[in-house]
Amino acid sequence: MRISVIGCGYLGAVHAASMASIGHEVVGIDVDAEKIGRLGRGEPPFHEPGFEAILGEQLASGRLRFATDFAEAADAEVHFIAVGTPQSADGRAADLAYVDAAFAALIAVIRPGSLVAGKSTVPVGTAARLAPLVEAAGATLLWNPEFLREGFAVKDTLEPDRLVYGVSPGDALERRPEVAVLDHVYAPIIERGTPRIVADWATAELVKVSANAFLATKISFINAMAEIAEATGADVTTLADAIGMDARIGRRFLNAGVGFGGGCLPKDIRAFTARAEELGVGASVAFLKEVDAINLRRRDRVVDLVLEELGERRYDGRVAVLGLAFKPHSDDVRDSPALDVAVRLHGLGVGVVATDPAAIETARTRHPQLSYATDAAAAILGADVVVLVTEWPEYSDLDPIATRSLAGTDPVIIDGRNVLDPASWRSAGWAYRGMGRP
């Protein structure tokens, strides 16, 4: 089929290349000419494992191209909207300016009979608000939320846990013609037995935000237990292992540490509370404000631990911050706990040297005032305190003995992700501090 993807960030660029890889003819559209230029040359504008290979292959196949002009999308039978919905500058709500602009520009070129499939994460009610615009152009609107994780974006797009289609409310949702069209787009994925749920617009929109709210709650739950563990001498990692063995709870997303960040979880829970308040049901998700507060307190905790361990060395000590990305295998520093810790320590007058395998350039653009080292060894050289805040394998696998010879006298390791073995670090001569573990 002929497909357009509007918005070529993590979501859209990966979706465009993935749709080309299953045989469709795809044009990716974005207003950012530099990004489109890079994508068209096969250069990923962000770090995402496996993306460069699929991008190169699909450009070479001739099925994938990129453009800045919406007119290039005119021929497509299905249009995916994949633009960002960041937190608004003046509050908790999502900023829908990119969504509204994408719809306006697309509607001007769209053909009657085509399908518009929204993938962006939007406040519930957005599809119902935009549908009249789409219908006036003779097209149909469906909401098809995306659940991809950064670092696994290609795999999650081509091998999703489930597909969710949101159609206009009413009867016989499964039998809508637009459902058959999207089934055709995703045919190889559906044929593999991937579950597919057809719902109304509001349910589909809510599936996405409630999934992220649940994941954020799970992380903040275990981080709250870490706070209790800190007050009692208990070990939150053992606690997580034990409660996680109950299949009803599950061990995944129970890793206590410096907390969640990124372009999705933090802004999605904030937008959810703002939207619920608009709808008069703010009390229903008011607990998400506590989820947010617990999460942000873990950043304070890491900063406090560093200051405590530096003690009198506060202004002449040296602190190595390992990690800047919000999670490993990504160069994304949006709302990154790791970058936040580095910036706050620097702001407190602490001598910080930060490093990351992929995110130095994205961090430097936002925070040129920080000192950056090219790798862990260079950052740790002469450090009094080493803080691990993004669990890249190269940091989790650091050898405590070899690392000890690089650091200063009486060094301290602060394991902000609970990924190191306390005993082996202590026996190599480090003072070890974890997050909610002795």
Residue ranges binding ligand UDX (CB under 6 A): 147-150, 212, 215, 219, 253-255, 257, 259-262, 264-265, 326-327
2 or 149: whose CB is closer to ligand UDX? 149
Nearest alpha carbon to residue 320 among 284, 290, 282, 350: 350
134 or 224: whose CB is closer to ligand UDX? 224
CB of 294 to ligand UDX, least distance (A): 11
The identity of residue 313, as a single letter, is R
106 or 258: whose CB is closer to ligand UDX? 258
| Helix residue ranges, H only, 233-284 | 236-244, 265-278
CB of 219 to ligand UDX, least distance (A): 4
- CA angle 131-133-138, nearest 5°? 90
CB of 62 to ligand UDX, least distance (A): 30
d(CA 288, CA 336): 19
Q: Which position among 117, 139, 264, 339 bears the catalytic label?
A: 264
d(CA 182, CA 191): 13
CB of 33 to ligand UDX, least distance (A): 27
- Residue 293 CB-density burial (10 A; 0-12 exposed, 13-18 middle, 19+ buried): exposed
- Residue 333 CB-density burial (10 A; 0-12 exposed, 13-18 middle, 19+ buried): buried
77 or 156: whose CB is closer to ligand UDX? 156
CB of 97 to ligand UDX, least distance (A): 20
C-beta separation of 264 from 122 below 8 A: no
Q: Give me 66's structure tokens.
A: 């990129």
275 or 417: whose CB is closer to ligand UDX? 417
Nearest alpha carbon to residue 89 among 100, 97, 99: 97
- Print burial letters for 181-192: b (CB count within 10 Å at least 16), e (below 16): bbbebbeebeee
CB of 96 to ligand UDX, least distance (A): 18
Number of neighbours of residue 350 by Cβ within 10 angstroms: 22
Number of neighbours of residue 125 by Cβ within 10 angstroms: 15
CB of 293 to ligand UDX, least distance (A): 15
150 or 309: whose CB is closer to ligand UDX? 150
Listing from the earlier edge strand, what are the strands of the sheet with 431-433? 371-372, 351-355, 318-322, 385-388, 412-415, 431-433
The residue written with tokens 């050289």 in the block is 381
Q: Give me 220's structure tokens.
A: 């903040």
Radius of gyration over every alpha carbon of the chain, rounded to an integer in angstroms:
23
For helices 201-232 and 287-310, the axis angle rounded to 10 degrees is 40
179 or 324: whose CB is closer to ligand UDX? 324
For strand 140-143 and strand 115-118, is the pairing parallel, antiparallel, or unpaired? parallel
76 or 302: whose CB is closer to ligand UDX? 302
User: Long-range contacts for 156-160 (Cβ within 8 Å, ≥24 apart)?
Assistant: 157/14, 157/15, 157/18, 158/18, 158/21, 158/22, 158/189, 159/189, 159/192, 159/194, 160/189, 160/194
d(CA 157, CA 177): 23
| 8 assigned to active site | no
CB of 177 to ligand UDX, least distance (A): 28
Active site residues: 264
